[in-house]
Chains A and B, each alone.
Chain A
Amino acid sequence: MNNKTGSIETDDQTFVLDEDGHLADPNTWTRAFAEQLASTDGRVLSEDQWWLIEWVRDYWRSYGNAPLMRSVVVAYRVHKQDPSLGSASIYDLFTDNPVREACRLGGVPKPDWCI
């Protein structure tokens, strides 16, 4: 692994990162990439974190951009079958900019339009 200098290495593949630290070619994304990138931060991804990563990735593939937080919250409520959940529950998954982090781990380009 060498994400500080622009790449992530798994057992059988080297992934090039862009200047924002996101996967340079989103089409090369694999779960192994996400696991390796998370491990460089000392993390093992939970089931719900995986849900967010894959949901954000699916959204990007469908529409060409990362989702808004409000869309993530609605989808997470459905996923967890809990209508009381709010954005705080998404921040429980990744405390710092959860959609951006899901993009980074999901091989989705950095959302350049938001905030």
Chain B
Amino acid sequence: MTTKTRTRCKTPLKFVVIRVPKRHPNYLHACECIAQSVKKGYSVQVFLHGPAVDRDLMEGGDRLSSLAEEAGVAVHLCQAAWQRLHQTQSLASDPPYPVMSLIATWDAIERAEAVCIFGFGQWPAHWPSITVGEVDQQTPRAYGVMVAYSPSAADRDSLVEWVLAGATLDLDLVVAFAGEGASEVEGEAARRWAQISDHGLAEVMTDASIIKAHSAEDPLAKDGRHPGLENRHWLVM
């Protein structure tokens, strides 16, 4: 068994993942969060993933590009998403930001003091409430990936890639499907995700499993806590 040690940099790193396109309100929220984090003294690294990597990004001239140019915010694009965009849209130009692999992204998340995700989903209201967005300094960290919305087929591919990249690094990983995200474990959509449980790449949680864990018969429910949820850093996609 290996133990990872995490060294603190003088300037704490905040890692921000943006999963929504520029026209989505959460994109502006992400930019505001980034600006505030810079003011608080964080070194901010931004990763644009999945649906965030679209043709609109090529236009530039938005708040994120200003933050990159004027505030020293490091912005990267998902390498796989860029490759697909580049091929399907026959883009002749270079990417507007440097590309980064998902493996390198997970590695950066491991090193970050704080991680924020700006995506389509929210923590499901019918699940036990936990603090989302803070990173504790436990070593090694455990992660949860929450899918609580119904993604498009292309977005589903990017979510599966996200989890597979984490599994490549042998991270302690749970993937949770809740609310509208529960449709991901049914029908054709489930085919892409089945490898996660078929090959033991991550633990899978669903509405059904969390309800069972919190039922009166379950000892975990006695104090209203669920260690499987609370001891993880949750990335709400």
Contacts and interface: CB of A to CB of B under 8 A. Distances in A.
A115 B80 CA distance: 10
Interface stretch (A3-11, A36-44, A45-53, A62-70): A62-70
B155 interface: no
Contacts of B84: 112
A70 B164 CA distance: 11
A114 B167 contact: no
A63 B102 contact: no
B199 A71 contact: yes
B103 A62 contact: no
Size class of the contact patch on chain B: 20 to 34
Contacts of A71: 195, 199, 201
A115 B101 contact: yes
B228 to A, nearest CB: 22
A112 B84 CA distance: 8
Contacts of A62: 191, 194-195
B168 interface: yes
Contacts of A63: 191-192, 194-195
A85 interface: no
B168 A112 contact: no
Given A68-B164, A68-B168, A112 B103 contact: no
Interface string B183-205: 00000000110110001110000
B220 interface: no
Contacts of B165: 113-114
A113 B161 contact: yes
Nearest to B199: A71
Interface in B164-221: 164-165, 167-168, 170, 191-192, 194-195, 199-201
Given A63-B191, A68-B201, A114-B165, 14 more contacts: A64-B191, A64-B192, A65-B160, A67-B195, A68-B199, A69-B168, A70-B199, A71-B201, A112-B80, A112-B83, A113-B80, A114-B102, A114-B103, A115-B168
